[in-house]
Amino acid sequence: MTENELMILPLVALILLAQSVFLFTNAKKHGHNYWLWGILGLVQAPVPTIIYLLFVRKARKDN
């Protein structure tokens, strides 16, 4: 790994961790499968957050 990649790695880890915590707490508060959303938040960014905000929250409002 180059020096630039090593400098970016902690930032990426922080973004993934913050996203995971947000998804976990928000899904738990709204009665969704919070462990699934927390784990998905650790794997990739920002797709799980976009899917959660667009589809899961919208489906909850419609019911």
Q: Does position 7 have pLDDT exceeding 70, yes or no?
A: yes
pLDDT at 52: 92
Q: What percent of the chain has pLDDT over 90?
A: 76
Residue 14 to residue 44: CA distance in whole angstroms: 12
pLDDT at 56: 81
pLDDT at 61: 66
Determine the average pLDDT of the residues in 22-30: 94
